């Protein structure tokens, strides 16, 4: 199996290991594309754990996560959902974008995130105590503009929390080089461009350029697409649908490359 690449930004590996040891659920906060999912995949591999990932959205119900009865011939049989499997098997359960989850899922999480460490399955009437190796990790993006879902303080306080943000220049360059095989000079140019866009608060972007977008631009450049075009389609266009805004970013791109 290929080793997952993850470049540490701070003490996140230590914090994760201590959270695991103390059976504390962990919340990763921060903007999209800052390495949260990569970090969890890396830690699962490093610690030799199976990882169940669920991207929460408004349609995800507790039935999808906990399990359901299905018809098999003339019989109905119970099928565990990914959350129940993770709890029983002592795996890592990663709930991406937890604020998007339906209230019934948040309710199901309550007993799992306190001293009980148990999951109640209302459809079967069973209560399952989590295997001692089970760990819950969730992500939350607090930067969203008004209208997006907030995480309730009562849910938030069930987790220890770790903030993710855009990495320092040298670290971000290293990530681009390792991820895409791009040369040093181009990586540095992309990172500088990223920093400039992040400083342009007057653009009023809901979210600014992430490491993910810089990686995408680097991949396109590495595969032979011209630099400016790569940045236009990987950076300027994904950041906004407003023509004036994308044009302003495109101007910055042509000045920077």
Summarize as ranges the residues that interact with ligand ADP (CB under 6 A).
5-7, 9, 32-38, 175, 179, 211-212, 215
Smallest gap from residue 160 Cβ to ligand ADP (A): 18
Return the number of the residue (117 or 212) whose C-beta is nearest ligand ADP.
Answer: 212
Smallest gap from residue 181 Cβ to ligand ADP (A): 12
Smallest gap from residue 167 Cβ to ligand ADP (A): 6
Beta-sheet pairing, 118-121 with 51-55? unpaired
Q: Is 189 exposed, middle or buried (0-12, 13-18, 19+ CB in 10 A)?
A: buried
Tokens of 256: 């920077």
Beta-sheet pairing, 160-163 with 26-29? parallel
Smallest gap from residue 241 Cβ to ligand ADP (A): 20
Return the number of the residue (34 or 186) whose C-beta is nearest ligand ADP.
Answer: 34
Tokens of 58: 């408004």
Return the number of the residue (76 or 163) whose C-beta is nearest ligand ADP.
Answer: 163
Smallest gap from residue 135 Cβ to ligand ADP (A): 17
Return the number of the residue (33 or 81) whose C-beta is nearest ligand ADP.
Answer: 33
Alpha-carbon distance of 78 to 8, in angstroms, equals: 41
**Residue of 106, 215, 198, 95 lying closest to 143 (CA atoms):** 198
Query: Whose CB is nearest to ligand ADP?
Result: 35
Distances (CA, A) of 57 to 207, 219, 257: 19, 29, 38
Angle at 55 between CA 111 and CA 89, to 5 degrees: 50
Count CB atoms within 10 A of the CB of residue 22.
8
Smallest gap from residue 88 Cβ to ligand ADP (A): 26
Return the number of the residue (130 or 175) whose C-beta is nearest ligand ADP.
Answer: 175
Return the number of the residue (134 or 164) whose C-beta is nearest ligand ADP.
Answer: 164
Smallest gap from residue 79 Cβ to ligand ADP (A): 28
Contact 128, 118 (CB under 8 A): yes
Return the number of the residue (130 or 217) whose C-beta is nearest ligand ADP.
Answer: 217
Distances (CA, A) of 130 to 46, 87, 112, 134: 21, 5, 8, 6
């Amino acid at each position: 199996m290929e080793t997952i690449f993850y470049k540490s930004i701070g003490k996140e590996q230590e914090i994760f290991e201590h959270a695991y040891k103390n059976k504390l659920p962990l919340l990763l906060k921060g903007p999209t594309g800052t390495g949260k999912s990569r970090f969890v995949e890396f830690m699962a591999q490093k610690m030799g754990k199976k990882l169940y990932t669920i991207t929460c959205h408004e349609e995800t119900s507790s039935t999808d996560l906990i399990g359901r009865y299905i018809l098999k011939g003339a019989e109905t049989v119970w099928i565990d959902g990914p959350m129940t499997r993770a709890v029983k098997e002592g795996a890592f359960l990663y709930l991406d974008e937890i604020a998007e989850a339906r209230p019934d899922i948040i309710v199901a999480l309550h007993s799992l995130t306190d001293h009980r460490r148990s999951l109640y399955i209302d459809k079967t009437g069973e209560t399952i105590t989590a295997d001692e190796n089970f760990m819950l990790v969730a992500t939350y993006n607090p930067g969203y503009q008004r209208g997006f879902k907030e995480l309730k303080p009562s849910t938030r306080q069930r987790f220890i929390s770790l903030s993710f943000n855009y990495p320092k220049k040298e670290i971000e360059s290293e990530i681009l080089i390792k991820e895409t095989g791009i040369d040093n000079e181009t990586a540095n140019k992309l990172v500088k461009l990223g920093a400039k866009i992040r400083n342009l608060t007057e653009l009023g972007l809901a979210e600014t350029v992430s490491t993910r977008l810089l990686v995408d631009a680097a991949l396109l450049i590495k595969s032979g697409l011209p630099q400016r075009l790569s940045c236009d389609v990987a950076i300027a266009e994904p950041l906004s649908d407003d023509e004036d805004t994308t044009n302003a970013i495109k101007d910055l791109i042509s000045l920077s490359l």
